[in-house]
Amino acid sequence: MAKTNRRYYWIQLAQDFFKSKEMKLLRKMPGGDTYTIIYLKLMLISLEDNGKIYFEELAQDLAEEMALLIDEDTEAVRMTLMFLNKKGLLTRHSDYEFFLEQVPEMIGSETASTRRSRKHREQKALQCNTNATKRNGDIEIDKEIELEKDINIESEVDKEQTTADEKSDFNIFEHYQSRIGVLDGYQMQKLKDFMELDGLEPGLIKRAIDRAADNSKRNFGYVNSILKNWAQNGIKTIVQQDEEQRKFEDNKASQNSYTQRPQQKQPKQTNVPDWWDKEYKHEATPEEQAQLEALKKSMSED
What's residue 89's pLDDT? Answer: 93
What mean pLDDT do residues 3-7 have? Answer: 59
Query: What is the rounded CA–CA span in Å between residue 208 and residue 234?
Result: 15
Mean of the per-residue pLDDT values for the chain? 77
Q: Which residues contact 264 (CB under 8 A, 6 or more apart)?
A: none
Query: What is the rounded CA–CA span in Å between residue 266 and residue 165?
Result: 66
What mean pLDDT do residues 87-94 have? Answer: 92
| 26, burial (CB in 10 Å: exposed 0-12, middle 13-18, buried 19+) | buried
Position 258 confidence tier, pLDDT thresholds 50, 70, 90: low
Q: What is the pLDDT of residues 129-174, one digit of tens each?
A: 555 555 555 555 555 555 555 545 444 444 444 444 444 444 888 8
Q: What is the pLDDT of residues 176-205, one digit of tens each?
A: 888 888 878 788 888 988 998 889 999 999
What phi and psi, each to the nearest 5 degrees, are found at residue 204? Answer: -70, -40
Helix (H), strand (E) at residue 185: helix 185-196
Whether the predicted pLDDT of 1 surpasses 60 = no
Q: To the nearest 10°, the Cα dihedral for 153, 156, 157, 158?
A: 120
CB 153 within 8 A of CB 5: no
Whether the predicted pLDDT of 71 surpasses 50 = yes
Domains (ranges, CATH) in the chain? Answer: 7-108 (1.10.10.10), 164-232 (1.10.10.630)
Q: Which residues contact 98 (CB under 8 A, 6 or more apart)?
A: 52, 53, 54, 55, 62, 90, 91, 92
What's residue 168's pLDDT? Answer: 45
Whether the predicted pLDDT of 235 surpasses 50 = yes
Longest dimension (CA), the chain: 155
What's residue 80's pLDDT? Answer: 95
HSE (CB half, 13 Å, CA atoms) of 43? 21
Whether the predicted pLDDT of 16 surpasses 60 = yes
CB 26 within 8 A of CB 32: yes
Q: Which of 45-49, 82-86, 158-162, 264-268 has the lowest mean pLDDT?
A: 158-162
Question: Is the model more confident about 273 or about 286?
Answer: 286
Q: What is the pTM for the complete model shown?
A: 0.42
What's residue 254's pLDDT? Answer: 78
Query: What is the rounded CA–CA span in Å between residue 207 and residue 228?
Result: 13
Query: What is the rounded CA–CA span in Å between residue 83 and residue 90?
Result: 9
**CA of 138: how far to CAs of 124, 129, 151, 163, in Å?**
13, 12, 20, 38
